[in-house]
Structure 1
Amino acid sequence: MTGILSLLLASSSAQAAPPHTFHTSLMQLEYNAEEQSVEVALQVYVHDLENMLSHRAGKQVRLDKTPEAATLTLAYVNESVNLKNREGQTRAFTWVGMEPEADAVWLYVETKMPEGLDGAQLRDRLFFEMLDDQVNLVHLKFAGKKADLVFKVGDEFKAIS
């Protein structure tokens, strides 16, 4: 069974990813108390991200071939994913890296937030301007707590609690 699965995964990653019928992203947001930072891992479809970046840049963007892909991606994440501390100040993310995975890609960003996530708010609007059925799932982990948030088109900031 694992041989078949490995073969399928290998062959699917060698081909261009076809468009998919559902539109979702997954975010894992964790507070690192030792570093006093918020660490974010975002899983998105390569097809969706490349389409969005190409539209914004006015030229074709390929994550594996466009030199400025990381810079363009970080700018888009900072516009679409907004984290406010309890005072209402928006925190900008810095780039950590990117890891391709079949037809998806993991994006890693972080931001310093010494005050922690208590009273903070999050908004995740990835791909909303392009896909009206987009759903963004967020798994939060901080101060010994776990929580989930779901963002759909039209949603605004939600409290992290």
Structure 2
Amino acid sequence: MKIRVLIASLFFFMIGNVNAHQQKTAVTTISFNHRVNTIEVMHKFYLHDAEHAVRDLFDPSADILSSKATQNTFADYVQHQFAIESNDGKPLPLTFVGLELDGKYLWIYQETNIPEKISGMSISNGALQDLWPSQVNLVNIEGQGKLQSLLFEHSDRWLTVSLPE
């Protein structure tokens, strides 16, 4: 019985340690909203990763939890690291919609109009990869045919996806 308690205690201790470390993973969803003719972009970062990032990138005393200015600085950084081009090479101008803290996540929202004819997109997502080469950014594209995903690792600059017209 004591062995089981010891193993269970070690297991829960290890889970707690894993959750306390940086994840170095972010997820972005690009959603075609045909009802309002916009492409909505939702970046989801682990708050713990964002905390470390703002301290390493901007200010060692930065506080992303309580400082709206620090949150906006991080959002600006993410917006400069992310871009979408239509299949003909034209940049899609993204507008900042806002950000929110949601539990253990920080969300950053952008949008743009859906181009008249779009049969593909090139996407760049290098957020946090300049800071951590092991950072992985997953981008899901939904609402324009079947769900498609792109996985950005450190050496990826632009990845392309084909879309049904």
**What's the TM-score bracket when you normalise by the shorter of the two chains?**
0.7 to 0.9
Summarize the Cα distance change of 1:56–1:134 in structure 2 as closer, same or farther, 3 Å threshold: closer
Q: Percent identity?
A: 23
In the superposition, the TM-score normalised over structure 1's length comes to 0.75
Q: Which moved more, 1:88-97 or 1:149-158?
A: 88-97
Cα distance, 1:151 vs structure 2? 0.7
Summarize the Cα distance change of 1:38–1:73 in structure 2 as closer, same or farther, 3 Å threshold: farther
- CA contact under 8 A between 1:123 and 1:158: conserved in structure 2? yes
Q: Residue 26 of structure 1 corresponds to which residue in structure 2?
A: 27
1:110 aligns with 2:94: no
Structure ID, larger Rg = 2
Which consecutive unaligned segments of at least 5 residues does structure 2 have? 1-15
Distance 1:49 1:138 in 2: 18
Summarize the Cα distance change of 1:34–1:128 in structure 2 as closer, same or farther, 3 Å threshold: same
Distance 1:55 1:116 in 2: 41
Which consecutive unaligned segments of at least 5 residues does structure 1 have? 1-11
Cα distance, 1:155 vs structure 2? 0.6
1:55-70, aligned counterparts within 5 Å? 55-58=56-59, 60-70=61-71
Let me know the Cα RMSD of the aligned residues: 2.4
Distance 1:116 1:154 in 2: 30
In the superposition, the TM-score normalised over structure 2's length comes to 0.74
Cα distance, 1:37 vs structure 2? 1.7
Question: Aligned residues, how many?
Answer: 145
Distance 1:38 1:127 in 2: 23
Cα distance, 1:70 vs structure 2? 4.4
